Amino acid sequence: MNAQARKEALRFLFTPIVDRLGYKFTPAEEDADFLLEQVAGLEAQTGIPYCPCRARTRDRAENMRIVCPCIPFHRAHYDAMRRCWCGLFVHKDVTDPDKLRQIPESKVENR
């Protein structure tokens, strides 16, 4: 499967999942395309569509918490930012994702 086809397939697979979780693909098309390409690239390289902005370690259980879409495993954090860490998904009501801030997990928990 070529990279473009896999990107489209991942978009197709992720859309209903994130929809039920209250999220959508970021309306920043260029960012969405870049991020999806990275996810597809990581999947091609490792067999698993990991988050492009989170680190993999030697711990499988930890790694499984950053497989895209990883919203279920970081709900409070992402809900506070109104988008996921890498920015591929935003809350459904977000129209201008550039106004959102990246907030470290540690600062969300301390609130």
Partner 1 sequence: MEHAAEAIELSKLAGGIPAAVFPLGLPVLLIRLGAEVFALENRCAHLGCPLAGGRLDGYLLQCPCHDWRFDIRDGRFIDAPELAVKTYAAEIKDGKVFVRIPL
Partner 2 sequence: MKKVTIYALSTCLWCRKTKKYFEEKKVPFKAVDYDKQDEDSQEKMMEEMRAAGCSGSFPFIRIGSDCTQGYDPDEFEKLLNKQ
Assess whether the previous peptide bond of 69 is cis (omega < 30° from 0): yes
| Rounded CA separation 23/87 (Å) | 11
The DSSP symbol for 72 reads G
Annotate each residue in 20-39 with x if it binds partner 1 (CB under 8 A) or - if it does not, as one string. xx------------------
| SS3 state at 25 | strand
Which one of 24, 33, 34, 67 is in contact with partner 1 (CB under 8 A)? 67
Q: Does 76 sit near partner 1 (CB under 8 A)?
A: no
Summarize as ranges the residues that interact with partner 2 (CB under 8 A): 31, 34-35, 38, 41-42, 52-55, 57-58, 62, 66, 85-87, 101-106
Region binding partner 1 by CB under 8 A among candidate stretches 56-64, 77-85, 91-99, 103-111: 56-64
Region binding partner 1 by CB under 8 A among candidate stretches 61-69, 78-86, 91-99, 102-110: 61-69
| Rounded CA separation 70/67 (Å) | 5
User: In this structure, what token pair is assigned to residue 99?
Assistant: 């106004």
- In terms of CB distance, is 49 or 87 closer to partner 1? 49
26 contacts 97 by C-beta, under 8 angstroms: yes
| SS3 state at 90 | strand
Which positions touch partner 1 (CB under 8 A)?
13, 17, 20-21, 48-49, 60-61, 64, 67, 71-73, 75
